[in-house]
Structure 1
Amino acid sequence: MNQSNHYPADFTWGVATSAFQIEGGANADGKGPSIWDTFCLNPNNIKDQSDGTVACDHYNRYREDVGLISSLGVDAYRFSMAWARVQPSGKGAWNEAGFGFYDRLLDELAAKDVKAHLTLYHWDLPQGLQDDGGWLNRDTAHRFADYAHEVARRFGNRIDAIATHNEPWCSANLGYGNAQFAPGVADARQAIQVSHHLLLSHGLAMTSMRAAAASAQLGIVLNQWTADPATDSELDRTMAELEYARSVQWFMDPIFKGRYPELALRAHGANAPVVHDGDMAAIAQPIDFLGVNYYFRSFCSAETPPRTPPGKLGFTDMGWEIYPQGLTELLVKLNAEYMLPPIYITENGMANPDAVTDGKVSDPARIAYVRMHLDALKAAMEQGVDVRGYFLWSLLDNFEWNSGYAKRFGIVHVDYATQERTLKDSAIWYRDFLSAQRQR
């Protein structure tokens, strides 16, 4: 019997999405533009020249989608709020029609007995704030804290968990480091400063949400990976150590240790961020949970050209190595290095070139992927890591950022022309797996 059949009875099982990837309704009911709306205006930025104007039309089909979530038998749904939907310019007046959408969504989830896990920021900054400098502008951290307080004030007693940010590494390094994501800036120094302002905004938001006296558990979601040297050479080992310091420790150390890792600071040199007095104390607020998103490891090679990962278990449609044991290694390493709160695996899944055939979608590779990662997760738990839940990414095929609609992560297939939803075999497997869990 697989290890994954032996999870605690109170373990939380869920599925996850994000606002820009599924909602559509880009101009509906007073919503303002986000940096991703703007980024998509340049067709060179998106591989299939698409945008998020309609996406999965979740804004209009949320009841149907919550019905799908309920049919899977999950405990919880992780989703994000579009900041520009509830505050069109990112400052000033609130948009009651925008809040009304999330109010209805929460009502629907409650009616189906599905717990709500909200992410405040999943990369879609209001364009009005970008016009003022975006995350490079320190003031944006304070505007984010205001937004977090208002959401916690309104909904904090109807939501089980609120995460400040999803993957700030991506916001900084892909948005400002290599221009792969919105707002499309390629400047290493800006990326590092932005990473600091994102962390500062997290800490300020934690304080502002605590002041709202919400009952929701509060935390942050970080994308993380192990960094493995391709060989035993000193160059590869040094490269792997630096990669881990500049990615994982760069975000973990300020939150849990109140400082940046020295190795990364030295490597950044003149690009190191400007840090004001009191910033690190503001960032290092206690959190109730840590969300971990895991997809792959970093395979570090100093050779030219660099060695590629062996991919013994294959690669996903994103070209990412399938390496489930890296999840065990990561969690055990984090548990040894930090005083951690409970952990949720907030994203894990794979892109697969799925198609509907005779009304069905066969995706055995995804089922195998999830099985292996659940076994790896259980192995970490058996080594003392306090993991409380797992959210499969993603509920729906959706707008996969700069890949457009070409990559399908969902366990539910979406026909973008008709918006028809079809449960993939992986969704049926997940439903049956969860049913078996509850019969133990």
Structure 2
Amino acid sequence: MDRKFLWGSATAAYQCEGGWKEGGKGMSNWDTFCHSEKNNINPVTGDVACDHYHRYEEDIKMIADGNQNAYRFSIAWTRIIPDGVGKISREGIDFYNRLIDTCKKYNVEPLVTLYHYDLPQSLFENGGWENRATVDAYEEYVKVCFKEFGDKVNYWATINEPNYETLCCYGFGNYPPNVKNLERRWKAMYHLMLASARAVKAYKNMGYKGMIGLVSDSYPIEILKDNEEYRKAKKLANIFFNTSVNDTCIKGYYPDEYIEHLTELGYDLSYMKEEDKEIFKAGTVDYLGVNAYCRFLVKPCTGRETVMEVNNTGDSSKNEEMEIKDWCALDDDPNTKKTPWGTEIYPKSVYDMLMEFKELYPDTPIIITENGLGEYDIVEGEKIHDQYRINFLQGYVDWIKKAIVEGCDCRGYFVWSTMDVYSWINGYKKRYGLVYIDFDDNCKRIPKDSYHWYKEFIKEKGGSYNGKI
């Protein structure tokens, strides 16, 4: 396989495709949630989104015209097996064959994510990822994908963000099933990790030669004070957000300190079966995909009960609040800039994280599978002057280059997102795209200044995989 450095951008099925009832597609948990009264923060849906289902060739040509050589997208499980289990949809398979073939037509390498938050509704109603049967259904689904697309796809990702998805589902409670219960969270996350391991094992058993990994939202954990209490909070935060996922998929087993801490907290861990240990060992990843957005500054808990509130409104006066009892609390550096959604703008975080990975996982390549800035964008005479996004992205790629020069095996970089997409609970006002979507004018595409910057950056700096970026 060609070891070119991957310069691309990324989307996910529910966020961009639309066509929610077309092509034999079944209902997902997000289809149902977005049409329910629970969707009350930014009550919009992904029914149409940016209509990528109908306009994928236009979008892939736009990617190629921007000098990008790779496109990360996800497959909607509900297009392949509409009910989650049982009958396979040839219409859905044909759609993704067309999408992949179009990538090939324009010399764009597809990196395909098998699961990115959108679970078939029937499985969701039966307990979702808390139910071990979902793992069995997922394995059958991915085997269909490997069989149908395996000869054309060189890069696969099993699961997108087991940490962040379950944090939203069971911590913040803003993703379905919209509850706050960390014990249920750990169970769901375990089954997501088991599903990933089984997918990797199946892929290798089926004889395919590409690379298969997992996409982790990872964070360098930092503290503003260096004392015993703060160091303990940092250690626990690292287990909570990072090693519980990364160690498991790379080393093939859960960290002892993670199991010990959950046991100390009195959680029922009976869902962790002895026979699963061999599956985790056999299902280690070929690379780690990393969604890099920020660092986490943490401090010791204050002793109160768990409080987890996220800013989904873009009201800068309402920053995210997180104190996780018996783990850690989020701290704040008043000297760093933040987005209206409260995310700290700190590009050096990606360098700190990559250098940590170099020490922890020296034999595992890294691909930055997402990096981007969510902002309010303004159209001025058919142009979007998003210099703030250019500054953000430039800062990150500069620090990534430094990490590569210093020995980190990083093989790709994907901007989130290819175009403006449905941003989950944030709706459509929070825009990440290199290309502006006018949702009020037939999803008209308008390349932003950042699209043109990225195009020139790749032309000038892009190169083969050898660290010379």
Normalization by structure 2: what TM-score? 0.88
Say whether residues 1:91 and 2:66 are aligned partners.
no
AA at the equivalent of 1:319: G
Pick the aligned partner of 1:59 from 49, 53, 60: 53
Tell me the distance in 2 between the aligned counterparts of 1:163 and 1:335: 21
AA at the equivalent of 1:322: I
Determine the structure 2 residue equivalent to 1:299: 297
AA at the equivalent of 1:299: L
Determine the structure 2 residue equivalent to 1:360: 383
Once the two structures are superposed, the pairs formed by residues 95-114 of structure 1 within 5 Å of their partners are: 95-114=89-108
Tell me the distance in 2 between the aligned counterparts of 1:397 and 1:270: 43
Determine the structure 2 residue equivalent to 1:290: 288
Determine the structure 1 residue equivalent to 2:240: 246
Report the aligned-residue RMSD. Answer: 1.9
Aligned with 1:118: secondary structure?
A: strand
Of 309-318 and 173-182, deviating more is: 309-318
Shift of 1:183: 2.7
Once the two structures are superposed, the pairs formed by residues 387-398 of structure 1 within 5 Å of their partners are: 387-398=410-421
Once the two structures are superposed, the pairs formed by residues 226-237 of structure 1 within 5 Å of their partners are: 226-237=220-231
Tell me the distance in 1 between the aligned counterparts of 2:268 and 2:218: 21
Aligned with 1:340: secondary structure?
A: coil
The 3 A distance-change label for structure 1 pair 46 and 99 is: farther
Tell me the distance in 1 between the aligned counterparts of 2:360 and 2:171: 28
Once the two structures are superposed, the pairs formed by residues 181-260 of structure 1 within 5 Å of their partners are: 181-260=175-254
The 3 A distance-change label for structure 1 pair 402 and 438 is: closer
Contact 1:265 1:272 in 2 (8 A): no
Determine the structure 1 residue equivalent to 2:341: 318
Determine the structure 2 residue equivalent to 1:336: 359
Aligned with 1:172: secondary structure?
A: helix
Aligned with 2:8: secondary structure?
A: strand
Say whether residues 1:179 and 2:173 are aligned partners.
yes
Say whether residues 1:281 and 2:278 are aligned partners.
yes
Shift of 1:308: 4.5
Once the two structures are superposed, the pairs formed by residues 119-134 of structure 1 within 5 Å of their partners are: 119-134=113-128
Contact 1:55 1:398 in 2 (8 A): yes
The 3 A distance-change label for structure 1 pair 438 and 168 is: closer
Say whether residues 1:434 and 2:430 are aligned partners.
no
Tell me the distance in 2 between the aligned counterparts of 1:293 and 1:49: 26
- Higher helix fraction: Structure 1 or Structure 2? 1
Contact 1:256 1:339 in 2 (8 A): no
Shift of 1:431: 0.4
AA at the equivalent of 2:130: L
Tell me the distance in 1 between the aligned counterparts of 2:301 and 2:188: 30
Aligned with 1:30: secondary structure?
A: coil
Contact 2:253 2:280 in 1 (8 A): no
Shift of 1:89: 1.0
The 3 A distance-change label for structure 1 pair 153 and 429 is: same
Shift of 1:172: 1.8
Shift of 1:16: 0.5
Shift of 1:345: 0.5
Pick the aligned partner of 2:267 from 266, 271, 276: 271
Tell me the distance in 1 between the aligned counterparts of 2:334 and 2:291: 20
Say whether residues 1:166 and 2:160 are aligned partners.
yes
Aligned with 2:367: secondary structure?
A: strand
Aligned with 1:271: secondary structure?
A: coil
Tell me the distance in 2 between the aligned counterparts of 1:422 and 1:194: 39
AA at the equivalent of 1:432: E
Determine the structure 2 residue equivalent to 1:6: none
Aligned length: 432
Tell me the distance in 2 between the aligned counterparts of 1:376 and 1:87: 41
Of 259-268 and 93-102, deviating more is: 259-268
5+ residue gaps, structure 2, are: 303-320, 322-328, 464-468
AA at the equivalent of 1:282: I
Contact 1:226 1:298 in 2 (8 A): yes
Tell me the distance in 1 between the aligned counterparts of 2:244 and 2:301: 25
Determine the structure 2 residue equivalent to 1:414: 437
Alignment deviations for residues 22-69 of structure 1 (CA, whole Å, 9 cap, x no partner): 001111121111111111123443522101111111111111111211
AA at the equivalent of 2:274: D
AA at the equivalent of 1:293: N
Tell me the distance in 2 between the aligned counterparts of 1:223 and 1:158: 27
Tell me the distance in 2 between the aligned counterparts of 1:432 and 1:129: 45
Shift of 1:277: 1.2
Contact 2:294 2:345 in 1 (8 A): yes
Q: Give the % identical residues.
A: 34
The 3 A distance-change label for structure 1 pair 208 and 338 is: same
The 3 A distance-change label for structure 1 pair 308 and 242 is: closer
Tell me the distance in 1 between the aligned counterparts of 2:248 and 2:55: 40
Determine the structure 2 residue equivalent to 1:13: 7
Contact 1:188 1:271 in 2 (8 A): no
The 3 A distance-change label for structure 1 pair 221 and 303 is: closer
5+ residue gaps, structure 1, are: 1-8
AA at the equivalent of 2:279: A
Tell me the distance in 2 between the aligned counterparts of 1:224 and 1:307: 15
AA at the equivalent of 2:294: F
Contact 1:177 1:190 in 2 (8 A): no
